[in-house]
């Protein structure tokens, strides 16, 4: 069986290193390229705590794309880097898996159009943890009966976008079954701006950023005399790996954009 050849953009980051480690351990995958802005020439195997692989970290993406065999490129960097780098990847006929949040609909539409033109697959998801997908599914079901909803999402303090992609996706899913209305007292006011969080169709979302956190979300639904809480905690980046490995193996089977892990499970 031919292995799927995989490249990783942002290979030296926390997520990038974990992704590289799991690719190296997966019998169906072969890590063939590692790109980052640091550690040029270092072996990716030693960087992730494994034996040398012969795959050196490169800091010139154009050269890497010209000289490496890649079936799927994985990017978990940031939205600006994705828009700068991924079009170059797609134009080389390489399938793409993106775990970066913060991309606008216009940017995703542009990448989708480009992927279809180049006849390659593109996969984007705000969260690759199976438990997070179930949390969103359960929250949507619960909101049919508990339409008063607030979300608290907590992430590490290096995350750039707020609210998180997972929180936005959760709100969008709930909005499909919940009629828009304003929650809380009609004369409610904030003594400190932003105290009530962001407003999405009357639902409130609160973003917390602290060192020590990874990715956490609680959906709190209120009814007369009761509340229901649906919570998911990512305790380590390992929880994202099964979903990412699945996306890498699946993305070569379609053309254009597929969004959300729930669509490939």
Give the C-alpha separation, 109 to 160, whole Å.
Answer: 22
Give the C-alpha separation, 26 to 12, whole Å.
Answer: 19
User: Does residue 159 carry a catalytic annotation?
Assistant: yes
User: Does residue 216 carry a catalytic annotation?
Assistant: no
Residue 251: burial class (beta carbons within 10 Å; 0-12, 13-18, 19+) = buried
The DSSP-derived string for 195-254 is TT-EEETTEEEEEEE-TT--EEEEEEEEETTEEEEEEEEE-SGGGGHHHHHHHHHHGGGS
Q: What's the CA angle centered on 100, arms 95 and 105, to 5 degrees?
A: 85
Find the catalytic residue in 5, 68, 148, 159.
159
Find the catalytic residue in 5, 21, 155, 250.
155
Catalytic positions, written as ranges: 155, 159
């Amino acid at each position: 069986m031919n292995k799927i050849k995989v490249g990783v953009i942002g290979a030296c980051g926390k997520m990038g290193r974990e992704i590289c480690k799991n690719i190296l351990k997966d019998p169906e995958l072969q890590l063939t390229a590692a790109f980052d802005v640091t550690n040029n020439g270092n072996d990716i195997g030693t960087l992730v705590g494994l034996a040398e692989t012969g795959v050196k970290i490169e800091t010139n993406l154009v050269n890497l794309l010209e000289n490496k065999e890649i079936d799927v490129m994985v990017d978990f960097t940031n939205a600006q880097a994705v828009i700068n780098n991924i079009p170059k990847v797609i134009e080389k006929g390489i399938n793409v898996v993106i775990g970066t949040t913060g991309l606008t609909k216009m940017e995703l539409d542009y990448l989708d159009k480009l992927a279809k033109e180049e006849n390659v697959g593109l996969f984007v998801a705000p969260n690759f943890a199976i438990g997070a997908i179930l949390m969103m599914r359960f929250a949507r079901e619960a909101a049919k009966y508990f339409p008063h909803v607030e979300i608290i999402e907590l992430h590490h303090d290096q995350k750039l976008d707020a609210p998180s992609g997972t929180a936005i996706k959760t709100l969008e899913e709930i909005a499909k079954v919940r009629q828009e209305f304003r929650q809380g007292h009609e004369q409610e006011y904030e003594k400190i701006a932003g105290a009530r969080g962001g407003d999405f169709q009357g639902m409130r979302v609160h973003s917390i950023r602290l060192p020590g956190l990874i990715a956490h979300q609680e959906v709190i639904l209120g009814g007369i005399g009761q509340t229901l809480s649906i919570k998911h905690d990512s305790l380590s980046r390992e929880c994202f790996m099964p979903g990412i490995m699945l996306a890498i193996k699946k993305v070569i089977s379609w053309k254009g954009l597929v969004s959300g892990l729930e669509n490939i499970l």
